[in-house]
């Protein structure tokens, strides 16, 4: 109730939630009370979680930030939602997001931009901007996000949160509306690494309904949080600093805070080594071929026939498709569908799509080589702090560069985190931590030690 009251008070300005249903949330809270009384409670029982509106939740409107799904009430639960339910968590509402998770500022949402609680003239980042703003404004203690090219880490950085994108395949994508299937991964956004670990415990696990879900033994992601306490808790840890993260292109204020954080890590006993990710410079270009290619295929299902929006007036079937998609999708989504269709078409496939896949392989190999020399890679999450609403909206390439430090991690399928590391000109700065495959527990421990 406390959180619902706060949402009622702050959401009209912040616009972090698209859908709130107090009755449903309070019914879940009551069920959690009963579990607590029966001694059947886990760490998340009764904890309200804001859910990104990309996760289908039974009986809840699930819009994915789009007019296309503006009236869609899901008949089933995503695996992530079902897992939070099973843990006794309370669904606090569905959070605003860039349309179909395409964006870095939350300005492509059909439901209007989200404002950054640290400065309401600025963006919260995206695409999980509603989730980030909800937690930053204390409307929710924690939220889910999804990260295809940076959409958990970049908004976490811009809103002073901890956010984790797990290794591809660790969290089920079933019921999570697809953007770019080979890159999409869900993860937690919260105030601390410890909260992220508790959430990941609930979210992770094999799911036979997702063919890319990985069958691995269950892990306790909290297990390392208490490890190696003492004066030099991180002695022996090797931090790799890729020279490509520390060149031009990052705001001086952001870089200063990142360097401070690294100095702090040295005090905690860690050693630093320079590493190199020579193909990272092509990451954004490769991503903007691969992600739109997959999106153009995934979004072909929105045809006005089966579910979602349908244009009210049309002449025949083809006209219905055309009008439905013309009216249902926003400008950025259309841009991605056009790019994706183009790079997959005969005559361009080899030049763009295949070439991008080769670069993707080289980038993944760069990380394999780097992790021979270090345990964790660190650098900035975002090249700048929260930018002004409207500042980059008219220039897609400027917007795409927001993810210059995060995209390579998705192309390689690695786990990545952003944690708060201070302020530049009064705005939050994020430190990015990248781990080797399945190193989530270690990343969380390294983050926790700093916090
Ligand atoms: N900003 C990137 C894009 O627009 C990444 C979005 C995401 O991670 N969902 O595609």
Q: Which of 66, 109, 127, 131 is catalytic?
A: 127
Q: Which of 403, 406, 408 to mutate to test the pocket of ligand 1 (most atoms within 8 A of CB)?
A: 403
List Cβ neighbours of 118 (8 Å cut-off, separation of 6 or more): 136, 159, 160, 386, 426, 427, 428
* Shared-domain flag, residues 52 and 97: yes
CATH number for the domain that contains residue 189: 3.90.1300.10
* Shared-domain flag, residues 340 and 368: no
List Cβ neighbours of 358 (8 Å cut-off, separation of 6 or more): none
Q: Report the DSSP beta bridge partners of residue 116.
A: 119
* Shared-domain flag, residues 312 and 342: yes
Q: In this predicted complex, what is the ipTM? A: 0.98
pLDDT of residue 231: 77
Quick check: is 220 in a domain?
A: no
102 lines ligand 1 (CB under 6 A): yes
- Does this model's pTM top 0.95? My answer is yes
- The minimum-distance atom of ligand 1 relative to the CA of 332 is 4
Quick check: is 430 in a domain?
A: yes
- Whether 94 is a known active-site residue: answer no
Quick check: is 16 in a domain?
A: yes
* Shared-domain flag, residues 105 and 167: yes
Q: What is the DSSP letter of 140?
A: -
Q: How many domains does the chain have?
A: 3
* Shared-domain flag, residues 8 and 156: yes
Q: Are 169 and 396 in contact (CB under 8 A)?
A: no
Query: H-helix or E-strand containing 314?
Result: none
Q: Which of 149, 187, 411 to mutate to test the pocket of ligand 1 (most atoms within 8 A of CB)?
A: 149
* Shared-domain flag, residues 174 and 315: no
Domain that holds residue 422: 238-279+363-450
Quick check: is 229 in a domain?
A: no
The residue from 303, 331, 351 where one domain ends is 351
Give distance in angstroms: CA of 396 to centre of ligand 1. 12
Cα distances from 208 to residues 147, 205, 315, 342, 345, in angstroms, run 21, 10, 42, 33, 32
* Shared-domain flag, residues 414 and 315: no
Tell me the C-alpha distance between 403 and 97, whole Å: 16
Q: Which of 52, 83, 94, 115 is catalytic?
A: 52
104 lines ligand 1 (CB under 6 A): yes
Give distance in angstroms: CA of 132 to centre of ligand 1. 15
* Shared-domain flag, residues 288 and 378: no
Quick check: is 274 in a domain?
A: yes
List Cβ neighbours of 330 (8 Å cut-off, separation of 6 or more): 66, 67, 99, 108, 110
The C-alpha torsion from 10 through 14 and 19 to 25, rounded to 10°, is -40
pLDDT of residue 89: 98
Query: H-helix or E-strand containing 151?
Result: none
Cis bond upstream, residue 127 (ω within 30):
yes
* Shared-domain flag, residues 437 and 320: no
Q: Which of 95, 126, 336 to mutate to test the pocket of ligand 1 (most atoms within 8 A of CB)?
A: 126
Quick check: is 232 in a domain?
A: no
* Shared-domain flag, residues 44 and 142: yes
The residue from 309, 329, 351 where one domain ends is 351
The residue from 144, 177, 203 where one domain ends is 203
Tell me the C-alpha distance between 87 and 273, whole Å: 41
* Shared-domain flag, residues 65 and 162: yes
Tell me the C-alpha distance between 424 and 263, whole Å: 17
pLDDT tens by residue, the chain, 451 residues: 999 999 999 999 999 999 999 999 999 999 999 999 999 999 999 999 999 999 999 999 999 999 999 999 999 999 999 999 999 999 999 999 999 999 999 999 999 999 999 999 999 999 999 999 999 999 999 999 999 999 999 999 999 999 999 999 999 999 999 999 999 999 999 999 999 999 999 999 999 999 999 999 999 999 988 766 677 889 999 999 999 999 989 999 999 999 999 999 999 999 999 999 999 999 999 999 999 999 999 999 999 999 999 999 999 999 999 999 999 999 999 999 999 999 999 999 999 999 999 999 999 999 999 999 999 999 999 999 999 999 999 999 999 999 999 999 999 999 999 999 999 999 999 999 999 999 999 999 999 999 9
The 10s digit of each residue's pLDDT in 161-183 is: 999 999 999 999 999 999 999 99
Q: Are 358 and 283 in contact (CB under 8 A)?
A: no
Q: Are 95 and 48 in contact (CB under 8 A)?
A: no
* Shared-domain flag, residues 53 and 199: yes
What value, to the nearest 5°, has the Cα angle with vertex 164 and ends 35 and 215? Answer: 75
- The minimum-distance atom of ligand 1 relative to the CA of 101 is 9
List Cβ neighbours of 319 (8 Å cut-off, separation of 6 or more): none
Q: Are 182 and 294 in contact (CB under 8 A)?
A: yes
pLDDT of residue 228: 62
The neighbour count for residue 347, using CB atoms within 10 Å, is 6
Quick check: is 356 in a domain?
A: no
Quick check: is 225 in a domain?
A: no
């Amino acid at each position: 109730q406390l959180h619902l009251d706060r949402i009622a008070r702050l959401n009209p300005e912040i616009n972090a939630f698209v859908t709130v249903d107090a009755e449903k949330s309070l019914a879940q809270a009551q069920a959690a009370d009963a579990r607590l009384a029966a001694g059947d409670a886990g760490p998340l029982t009764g904890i309200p979680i804001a859910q990104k509106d990309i996760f289908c939740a039974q009986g809840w409107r699930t819009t994915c930030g789009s007019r296309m799904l503006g009236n869609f009430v899901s008949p089933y639960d995503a695996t992530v939602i079902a897992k939070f339910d099973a843990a006794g968590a309370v669904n606090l509402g569905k959070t605003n997001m860039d349309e179909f998770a395409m964006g870095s500022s939350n300005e492509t949402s059909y439901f209007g931009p989200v404002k950054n609680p640290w400065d309401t003239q600025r963006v919260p980042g995206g695409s999980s901007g509603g989730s980030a703003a909800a937690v930053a404004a204390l409307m929710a203690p924690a939220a889910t996000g999804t990260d295809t090219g940076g959409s958990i880490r970049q908004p976490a950085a811009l809103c002073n949160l901890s956010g984790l994108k797990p290794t591809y395949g660790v969290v089920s994508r079933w019921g999570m509306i697809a953007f770019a299937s080979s890159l999409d991964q869900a993860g937690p956004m919260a105030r601390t690494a410890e909260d992220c670990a508790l959430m990941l415990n609930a979210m992770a696990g094999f799911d036979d309904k997702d063919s890319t879900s990985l069958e691995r033994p269950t892990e306790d992601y909290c297990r390392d949080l208490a490890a190696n306490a003492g004066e030099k808790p991180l002695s022996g840890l090797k931090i790799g600093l890729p020279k490509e993260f520390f060149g031009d292109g990052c705001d001086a204020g952001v870089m200063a805070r990142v360097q401070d954080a690294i100095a702090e890590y040295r005090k905690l006993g860690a050693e630093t080594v320079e590493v190199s990710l020579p193909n990272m410079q092509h990451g954004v270009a490769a991503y903007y071929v691969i992600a739109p290619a997959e999106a153009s295929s995934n979004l072909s299902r929105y045809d006005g026939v089966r579910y979602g929006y349908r244009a009210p007036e049309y002449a025949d079937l083809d006209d219905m498709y055309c009008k439905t998609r013309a009216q249902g999708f926003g400008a950025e989504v259309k841009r991605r569908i056009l790019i994706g269709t183009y790079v997959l078409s005969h005559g361009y496939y080899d030049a763009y799509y295949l070439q991008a896949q080769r670069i993707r392989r080289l980038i993944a190999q760069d990380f394999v080589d780097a992790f021979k020399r270090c345990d964790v890679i660190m650098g900035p999450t975002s090249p700048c702090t929260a930018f002004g609403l409207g500042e980059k909206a008219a220039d897609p390439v400027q917007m795409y560069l927001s993810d210059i430090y995060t995209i390579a991690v998705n192309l390689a399928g690695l786990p990545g985190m952003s944690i708060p590391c201070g302020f530049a000109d009064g705005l939050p700065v994020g430190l990015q931590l990248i781990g080797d495959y399945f190193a989530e527990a270690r990343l969380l421990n390294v983050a926790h030690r700093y916090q």
